[in-house]
Amino acid sequence: DAGVIQSPRHEVTEMGQEVTLRCKPISGHDYLFWYRQTMMRGLELLIYFNNNVPIDDSGMPEDRFSAKMPNASFSTLKIQPSEPRDSAVYFCASSLRPGDGYTFGSGTRLTVV
């Protein structure tokens, strides 16, 4: 298995633009998580899915953020409109069971100018 695959690796966009981050979890993993890494707060959980259903989105910072998982092999995190304070590294992770050792993707470094 190629692991958790995220795209793009880097994204630079202008304030106000829509940004879409993509994730392909490990096949057979029923749980998918989106995290954001910042210096101040470390790794923050934004939202997680179980069997493609959003279970907890309490970490999503604002209505500008939305996430979908249309099938077991694909998820997106969308920011519309983007703002400079959204600049961070966004990680996707998947696991067989909740609380188990997660497998993380390599992340998407987002810069909003």
Partner 1 sequence: DQQVKQNSPSLSVQEGRISILNCDYTNSMFDYFLWYKKYPAEGPTFLISISSIKDKNEDGRFTVFLNKSAKHLSLHIVPSQPGDSAVYFCAATGNTGKLIFGQGTTLQVKP
- Give residue for tokens 């696991």: 95
What's the CA gap between 1 and 34, in Å, rounded? 20
53 binds partner 1 (CB under 8 A): no
83 binds partner 1 (CB under 8 A): no
- Considering only residues 26, 33, 75, 86, which one is a binding residue for partner 1 as defined by CB under 8 A? 33
Applying CB under 8 A, the span of 11-19, 20-28, 38-46, 74-82 interacting with partner 1 comes to 38-46
Pairing of strands 19-24, 74-79: antiparallel
101 binds partner 1 (CB under 8 A): yes
The backbone region for 25, taken as left when phi is positive above 0, alpha when psi lies in -120 to 50, beta otherwise, is beta
Report, in Å, the least distance between residue 43 CB and partner 1.
4
Judge if the upstream peptide bond of residue 8 is cis by omega within 30 degrees of 0: yes
List residues binding partner 1 (CB under 8 A).
Answer: 4, 31, 33, 35, 39-45, 48, 56, 91, 93, 97-99, 101-107
